[in-house]
Each structure stands twice: as C-alpha cells, then as structure tokens.
C-alpha cells in the first residue's frame, strides 16, 4: 500500500515543509516567538512595544530593498487578496491594465473588472507557463492606462518575470510581489507599488499585506481620497498610509505575524540582504530543476529557462507509457512521511510537483527531497 511506504530516514529532509504559502517558518523563529513571552503577544498594539515592532519591520524592509528617498513602507490587514480591492479603490483612477498568466494575476484583473466605478481593464493573457504583458490585449492603449499591473512571480505556475519593468510613464506600476518578496531581485525605482503577504518568501504567517510605495503612488492615493469616491475605511489606502506613518494599522494586526516577519528580516539582512537571498533562491531552484532535467520521468514545467521561478519550482511528471508517475501518489507518500505541500496549485490540474525554494528553505533539504522522490518513484515502479 502506498501509504505504508516508509522513506528511509537518511533520505529525508531535516525540515519537510516545502509549501508555497503558508511556507516554512524556521524553527528558531518559532522558538524566539515562544520565548518573547508576555512582552508582545497579548499586549496593546497602540503601545510602544508593538509600535516599535511595526516600525522595526518597516525600517528593515526599507533597508532590504534600499528604498529611495520618499518611498514608504505601508501595511494593513487582509493579505494580498485584500490589497487587490484596496488597489481598485485607492490606486486605479479610471483604468488598469493587467498581465495575466496564472491564478493570482487573474484575481487582481477580475477585481478591477468587477468595480463599477472603473472602466473595463485591459487584460493581456498568456498560457500557464509563460509570461504575458498587458499589451497582449489587442485593445491595449497605453494612453488610457493609469495602473499597470502584473505579478513578479506567478505562484500558481512557477513562472517569474525575469526583470521587473515599468509600464507607461504616466501610469503607476503595481507589482504583486507576494511570493517573490525576499527571494527575487527588484529595483524599487522600477515600481510604484510592490505589495506582498508575509507567509511566503518572508517565512511568516498570513493575514497582513505590505506595500512599498513610491512618491507617485502616495500622491495618487491622496488624489483619489480627495476626489469624493466612496471608499470603505478597511480598504482605504490613505487610511493605511496615515496609520503606517504612526507605526500602526487601522485595526488590530496579527502580532505573531509581525514578530516572525521581523525575525526573518533580521536573518535576511545578516545573510547578505536581498542580493544574498537571490543567490540562495537561485541555488535552491537549481537543486530542483537540475534534478528534474536529469530524470527521464520529470521535466521542469516552464519551458523557457529564463522564466523558471527561482522561488517556486514546478516539475511535471510523465503521464504516459512506462515512465508515467502519479504525482498525487508521490505527494501522498511524502506527506505520510512528514514531507508536505509539494502538490501543484489545485486549479492548474497538472501531474506536477510544486516546491517552494524560498530563502528560509535549505538547499540540503531540497536535495533530500529529490532523493526522497527518487526513492518513492522507484517503490511505486516496483509495484508497491
Ligand atoms: C498567495 C498569493 C496571493 C494571495 O495572498 P493572500 O495572503 O492569501 O491573500 C496573491 N498573489 C500571489 C502572487 C500569491 O502567491
């Protein structure tokens, strides 16, 4: 029986968490959280200890991204999904343009399309496994666009945009960095808003969003707030900007999430900052892609090597003939052995493994994962 297969202990990774979000939270960070005792958790977010924590996270993000003069680190509740609605209320003046090549980019485009106060967005679509830019929409007219949006890394397919690019000069470039943050390179001067949730590359828990915002983006928020548009307070970016300047959030934040982001930022800054993290994720991803290239029954899903994500690697397993391997069975055996969350994005529906290569994941653990998969495949082949 598949579920009775016991992977030899010497093959197993030390830490078996390879999920693309929620992702591995380092054991030391969890221990530090427990050791923080009554200092933070269970205390008021309006008092100095939590405000200092928020301020510290803001400063460390500014340092990690070497934010230029005038940029601000803004945060609020609800994660990146909430930020899509925030953006339709507080960033899009009239019409947005979207690059959609997977689930997450598509959700922002859908939020903008559904907002009755906005014009129909331009949506450039590409097949899963590729990158598509807003100008893939044949109606695209750069003159009509005031927000130019795309994901830096499409977590659902394992595709990354190799270089973050600006849209039209008069538009705000708004980039979803949720799974890219902390692991892929971006020059903040090339974006107006770089937003993300902390439960992916930042090795924390969910529930918050962060946005690195340029002076142009901050000015847009003010302009729209002054325009008289109805904006629910929870989704009003001007309210978040105001609170963030005071090291606060509109309503009660998840303090443990902030604590874990802070811990991960300390580690990232101590280990070479963003450049150091990018070399880590490149090394991590190579451990998966190189292995897949060497196996007859595995292939990196993304055909173009330049688009293969360094933070979320997707590998197709053979579906036909003698080489066929059922990824679902492989994943089930792994899970029973404590190696979890290597399943593909559910709506992609492929015979695939998806493996997070975030900075908090150790290269040795990824190598151990590949050895474990090899072992499982061999067992399944031999009729286990
Ligand atoms: C996970 C993810 C989101 C959604 O994040 P939530 O915190 O669950 O709202 C958005 N965009 C990308 C690229 C993601 O990977």
pLDDT at 1 over 60: no
Burial classification of residue 253, based on how many CB atoms lie within 10 Å of its CB (0-12 exposed, 13-18 middle, 19 or more buried): buried
Query: Residues 110-128: pLDDT tens digits?
Result: 999 999 999 999 999 999 9
Ligand 1 pocket mutation pick from 76, 81, 203, 205 by most atoms within 8 angstroms of CB:
81
Ligand 1 center to 188 CA (angstroms): 20
Which residue's alpha carbon is nearest to atom 10 within ligand 1?
80
User: Residue 194: CB partners within 8 Å, gap ≥ 6?
Assistant: 65, 152, 175, 177, 181, 186, 188, 211, 212
pLDDT digits (tens, 9 = 90+) for 77-122: 999 999 999 999 999 999 999 999 999 999 999 999 999 999 999 9
Give pLDDT, residue 293: 98
CA of 8 to the centre of ligand 1 (A): 35
Per 3-state DSSP, the chain is made up of helix, strand and coil in percentages (nearest 5) of: 45, 15, 40
pLDDT confidence of 47, banded at 50, 70, 90? very high
Those residues whose C-beta lies under 8 Å from the C-beta of residue 192, and which sit 6 or more positions away, are 172, 173, 174, 213, 214, 216, 217, 220
**DSSP 3-state assignment of 176?**
strand
The string of DSSP codes covering 246-292 is TT--SS---HHHHHHHHHHHHHHHHTTHHHHHHHHHHHHHHHHHHHH
The dihedral region occupied by 210, where left means phi > 0, alpha psi between -120 and 50, and beta the remainder, is beta
Report the separation in Å between the CA atom of 267 and the middle of ligand 1, taken as the mean of its atom positions. 23
Ligand 1 atom with the shortest distance to the CA of 21 = 1
Measure the CA–CA gap between 17 and 11, rounded to whole angstroms: 15
Q: What are the pocket residues of ligand 1 if the criterion is a CB atom closer than 6 Å to any ligand atom?
A: 21, 79-81, 104, 151, 155, 176, 178-179, 197, 200, 206
Taking the centre of ligand 1 as the mean of its atom positions, its distance from the CA of residue 78, in whole angstroms, is 10
Q: Over pLDDT 70: what percentage of the chain?
A: 99
Beta strand spans in the chain (E):
72-77, 96-100, 122-125, 147-151, 153-154, 159-160, 172-176, 193-196, 208-213, 298-300, 312-317, 352-356
CA distance 69 to 48: 26
Q: What is the mean pLDDT of residues 287-294?
A: 98
Distance set, CA 353 to CA 156, 206, 286, 343 (Å): 12, 23, 15, 5
Whether residue 384 has pLDDT greater than 90: no
342-364, pLDDT tens digit by residue? 999 989 999 999 999 999 999 99
Reading the block at residue 211, the tokens are 């946005």
Residue tagged 């300047």 (tokens): 245
Instruction: Count other C-beta atoms under 10 Å from residue 1's C-beta.
Output: 6
Atom of ligand 1 nearest to the CA of 81: 9
Q: State the distance from the centre of ligand 1 to the C-alpha of 182, rounded, in angstroms.
A: 14
Q: Is the pLDDT of residue 41 over 70?
A: yes
pLDDT at position 169 over 60: yes
Q: Tell me how far CA of residue 112 lies from CA of 6, 86, 137, 229, in angstroms.
A: 48, 10, 15, 15
Give the per-residue pLDDT at 46. Answer: 95
d(CA 240, CA 257): 18
pTM given for the model: 0.97
Asked whether 157 and 302 are in contact (CB, 8 A), the reply is yes
Return the half-sphere exposure (C-beta side, CA atoms, 13 A cut-off) of residue 273.
Answer: 11
Mutate to test the pocket of ligand 1, among 76, 79, 174 (most ligand atoms within 8 A of CB): 79
- How confident is the model at residue 2, as a pLDDT? 60
Distance from residue 150's CA to the centre of ligand 1 (Å): 13
pLDDT in tens, 204-252: 999 999 999 999 999 999 999 999 999 999 999 999 999 999 999 999 9
Structure tokens at 200: 């992916």
| pLDDT reading at 163 higher than 60 | yes
Could you identify the atom of ligand 1 that is nearest to the CA of residue 180? Answer: 13
Count CB-CB contacts under 10 A for residue 302.
Answer: 24
If you average pLDDT over every residue of the chain, what do you get?
97
Report CA(230)–ligand 1 centroid distance (Å): 26
């Amino acid at each position: 029986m598949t579920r009775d297969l016991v992977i030899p202990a010497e093959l197993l990774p030390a830490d078996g968490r390879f999920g693309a979000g929620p992702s591995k939270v380092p054991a030391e960070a969890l221990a530090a959280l427990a050791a923080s005792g009554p200092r933070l958790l269970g205390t008021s977010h309006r008092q100095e200890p939590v405000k200092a924590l928020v301020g510290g996270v803001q400063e460390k993000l500014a340092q990690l991204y070497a934010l230029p003069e005038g940029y601000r680190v803004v945060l609020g509740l609800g994660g990146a999904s909430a930020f899509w609605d925030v953006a339709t209320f507080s960033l899009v003046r009239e019409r947005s343009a979207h690059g959609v090549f997977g689930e997450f980019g598509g959700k922002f485009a859908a939020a903008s399309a559904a907002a009755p106060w906005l014009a129909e967005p331009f949506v450039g679509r590409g097949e899963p496994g590729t990158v598509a830019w807003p100008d893939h929409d044949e109606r695209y007219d750069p003159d009509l666009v005031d927000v130019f949006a795309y994901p830096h890394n499409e977590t659902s397919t394992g595709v990354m945009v190799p270089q973050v690019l600006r849209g039209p000069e008069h538009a705000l470039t708004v980039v979803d960095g949720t799974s890219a943050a902390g692991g892929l390179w971006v020059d903040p001067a090339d974006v107006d808003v770089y937003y993300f949730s902390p439960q992916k590359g930042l090795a924390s828990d969910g529930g918050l969003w962060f946005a690195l915002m340029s002076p142009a983006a901050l000015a847009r928020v003010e302009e729209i707030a002054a325009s008289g548009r109805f904006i629910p307070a929870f989704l009003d970016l001007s309210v978040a900007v105001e609170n963030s300047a005071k090291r606060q959030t509109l309503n009660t934040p998840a303090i443990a999430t902030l604590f874990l982001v802070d811990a991960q930022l300390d580690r990232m800054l101590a280990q070479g900052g963003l450049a150091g993290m990018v070399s880590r994720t490149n090394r991590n991803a190579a451990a998966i892609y190189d292995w897949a290239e060497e196996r007859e029954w595995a292939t990196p899903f993304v055909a173009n090597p330049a688009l293969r994500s360094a933070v979320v690697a997707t590998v197709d397993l053979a579906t036909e003939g003698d080489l066929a391997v059922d990824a679902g069975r492989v994943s089930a055996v792994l899970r029973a052995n404590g190696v979890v969350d290597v399943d593909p994005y559910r709506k992609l529906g492929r015979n695939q493994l998806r493996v997070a290569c975030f900075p908090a994941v150790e290269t040795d653990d990824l190598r151990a994962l590949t050895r474990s998969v090899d072992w499982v495949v061999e067992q399944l082949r031999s009729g286990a």
